[in-house]
Structure 1
Amino acid sequence: MKAIVYTETGAPSVLTAVDRDIVEPGVGEVRVRLVVAGVNPTDWKSRTGAGPGQKPAFDEVVPGQDGAGVVDAVGPEVEGIATGDRVWLLLAQHERPTGTAQEFTVVPADRVVRLPENADFDLGASLGVPAVTAHRALTVSEDGPSRLHPGALDGKTVLVAGGAGAVGHAAIQLARWAGATVITTVSGPEKAGLATAARAHHIVNYKSGDAVARIRELAPNGVDIIVEVAPAQNAELDAAVAAPRASVAIYANNGGDAVSIDIRPSMVGNIRYQFVLLYTVGTAALEAAKHDVTEAVRAGALPVGESHGLPLHRFSLDATADAHAAVESGVTGKVLIDISAP
């Protein structure tokens, strides 16, 4: 089979196409024939490491956490997954040498989730990191739900910073499906159009006018949950628009690696700052997200594509380096790798 690998950290050029044997699944493992893989910022950040030319965690790494395809073989002691099942994957390469940038991948069974019949492989490959991260961000509030379903966020107002990104897009859709009023901030008209297509109730252009005043106008009592992509830039805004006992769920460090928080306003408001990293959220959070995200997909609440607010950018498996470069450059939308026919 064809696989894309790297043996040292560095630029996208370290990615090389090779032929490798198809591996048999072991105890508790499943082999999936991949149809589409997703590329996320975590993929290129892992590839670059702390600097170029360093040895990665394994002698040879196949990148890629997300993907969708068809179960090709099932190892011993696997229940609930059968050969021929259409599935989506999450954390395929976490603590493992091989991920989804290859024709077949072997993963633990708990990282394989059945894909509802109404969902195509593009959607399946777009879930994983973005949707599970968004689910976690929406369920860490002290006064909010630990699970998402229709009505779970009734009466809540959610602010999604950077609603045109993949996680922001999933957060808008999941929050709306769960009953929240959704406000999102964007940097311009093009991204405002995408946030509108994702069905955010209100869009605020933070580069034109007073964003705090506009958000407060839309949510006079404040915002209950903030899904934050750029805490270094938005800390002051977050504190100014947060409702009492609000949660700020921080899942990225866009705009800076350090954040300064004015203690008194946060203390007076009993604001909770919750950092979110998919790899350490714990088993319970992952299991909840797998179930709830799948139900949202089944309900048609998580569509992708430009008409739904998340443009898709397609690359072949041989062009995985270009796919990584596109994500690293900050392309708006979701980058997918076409691997095989459905």
Structure 2
Amino acid sequence: MTETYRAVEYAEYGGPEVLRVVEREVPQPGPGQVRVRVRAAGVNPIDWKIRSGAMAGVMPVRFPAVPGVDMAGVVEAVGPDVTEFAVGDEVLGRGSGTYAELTLAPVDGITAKPAEVPWAVAAGLPVAATTTYRVLALLGLKPGETILIDGAAGGVGTVAVQVARHRGATVIGTASPANHDYLRSLGATPVTYGEGLADRVRAVAPQGVDAALDASGRGSLPALVDLVGGPDRVVTIADAAAAEHGVRFTSGGPDEVPGSLADAVSLLAAGTITLPVARSYPLSEAADAHRDSEAGHVRGKLVLLP
């Protein structure tokens, strides 16, 4: 009898309703891989943007697909050449289709989970952390500079604000008014996003803005380019129309910063940075998680608990 596990799957682009829970055959880890029993999986805005087809031009999907890359769990099988991890190790990092009870993960994409970090928090960290380190490197952010983060209350924004502050930068973050106190608690100066953004930023940063990150994809790139004085130090992780504005779109790959996840985990374990979990869902409610993420205004991370 074939061994199976539960996973969230979709077979076509569309709204949250295309997500369904299915049974899949248990995969065997290959060279450089481990199989992880998922304890929690992070939900990222890029997940529903890919599911909707909005990113098909830059990140096409091979159907049927299981969403998700963020996870934390326990190693239950290792590939033939793996020596870095053993069965029973608690890990977090990047998997292949993590909205599931099991996932395969490359050993260079995971790191040990400290006992003091809860499963849900650990699962929410990988993309937010690696994206933050990658973007700050691309922007060349230096101590004493000012960075504007559009969409600062979400998962990536939450980590980016704190890491930038830890590195000695001044941070201005956009969010809805309900999240302004939250941004202040992270060390950022809050402004409301949307029309008139440039004027509001200039009012709180008369010294100017050195760099900007678009983490929201809500059409702010023209304003960010205007504030920075050009597109060279503006990066987006959320707007597929970046090239129209001369702005760099980054989704990982060669831009990744080696050791970024382990470094962020150490900051998290030490309490230097925090990552709140806004809400958790069972696999059967993955569609609701996508709806909540797509609606915006999420403070911190959404996670699935298989």
* Shared fold (TM-score, shorter chain, > 0.5): yes
Question: How far apart, CA to CA, are the structure 2 residues paired with 1:231 and 1:59?
Answer: 25
Q: Return closer, same or farther for 1:46/1:246 CA change in 2, 3 Å cut-off.
A: closer
Quote the offset at 1:44 in angstroms.
2.0
1:42-72 CA-partner distances (Å, limit 9, x unpaired): 2223323369xxxx84453222111111111
The residue that corresponds to 2:44 in the other structure is 40
1:23 and 1:207 map into 2 onto residues whose CA distance is 45
The percentage of counterpart residues that share the same residue type is: 35
Is 2:158 the partner of 1:158?
no
C-alpha distance in 2, partners of 1:276/1:21?
A: 33
**Kept in 1: contact 2:214–2:221 (CA 8 A):** no
Question: CA-to-partner distance for each residue in 1:251-276, whole Å, 9 max, x for gaps?
Answer: 212xx946875xxxxxxxxxx94322
Determine the structure 1 residue equivalent to 2:265.
Answer: 294
Measured at CA, do residues 155 and 21 of structure 1 come closer, stay the same or move farther in structure 2, by a change above 3 Å? same
1:277 paired residue number: 251
Q: 1:8 aligns with which of 5, 12, 33?
A: 12
| Residues 131-156 of structure 1, C-alpha deviations (whole Å, 9 max, x = no match) | 222221211134x4xxxxxxxx4222
Which residue of 2 is the match for residue 184 of structure 1? 173
Alignment counterpart, residue 282 of structure 2, candidates 301, 316, 319: 316
Q: 1:58 to 1:206 in 2, by over 3 A?
A: closer
* Secondary structure at 1:84 match in 2: coil
Within the candidate set 93, 113, 121, 1:115 is matched to: 113
Larger radius of gyration: 1
Contact 2:292 2:298 in 1 (8 A): no
Q: Structure 2 CA distance, aligned partners of 1:178 and 1:170?
A: 12
Letter matched to residue 234 of structure 1: S
Structure 2 residue runs without a partner (length 5+): none
**Distance change >3 Å, CA 69–CA 28, structure 1 → 2:** same
Q: Report the 3-state secondary structure (helix = DSSP H, G, I; strand = E; otherwise coil) of the residue aligned with 1:154.
A: coil
Q: Secondary structure at the match of 1:20?
A: strand
Partners of 2:52 and 2:198 in 1: how far apart?
A: 37
Structure 1 pair 218/330, CA: closer, same or farther in 2 (3 Å)? closer
The correspondence of residues 327-338 of structure 1 with structure 2, limited to 5 A, is: 327-333=293-299, 334-338=301-305
Q: 1:251 aligns with which of 212, 223, 237?
A: 237
Q: Residue 65 of structure 2 corresponds to which residue in structure 1?
A: 61
TM-score normalised to the size of structure 1?
0.75
Residue-pair matches, total: 297
* TM-score, normalisation: structure 2: 0.83
Does residue 326 (structure 1) correspond to residue 292 (structure 2)? The answer is yes
Classify 1:43/1:213 alpha carbon distance in 2 versus 1 (closer, same or farther; 3 Å).
Answer: closer
Q: Where does residue 308 of structure 1 map in the other structure? A: none
**What is the alpha-carbon distance in structure 1 between the residues aligned to residue 288 and residue 303 of structure 2?**
11
Deviation (angstroms), 1:30: 0.4
CA distance in 2, matches of 1:233, 1:43: 19
Report the residue type matching 1:314 in the other structure. Answer: S
Larger CA deviation: 222-231 vs 120-129: 222-231
Aligned counterparts of 1:46 and 1:211: Cα–Cα separation in 2 = 27
Conserved 8 A contact 1:87-1:112: yes
CA distance in 2 between partners of 1:140 and 1:59 (Å): 32
Structure 1 residue 232: Cα displacement: 7.3
Cα RMSD over matched residues? 3.0
- SS of the counterpart of 1:184? strand
Distance 2:110 2:261 in 1: 9
* Letter in structure 1 aligned against 2:207: N
What is the 5 A alignment of 1:200-219?
200=188, 202-206=189-193, 212=198, 215-216=201-202, 218-219=204-205
For residue 248 of structure 2, what is the amino acid of its counterpart?
Q
Structure 1 distance, partners of 2:234, 2:168, is 19
Gaps spanning 5+ residues in structure 1: where?
94-98, 145-152, 262-271, 306-310
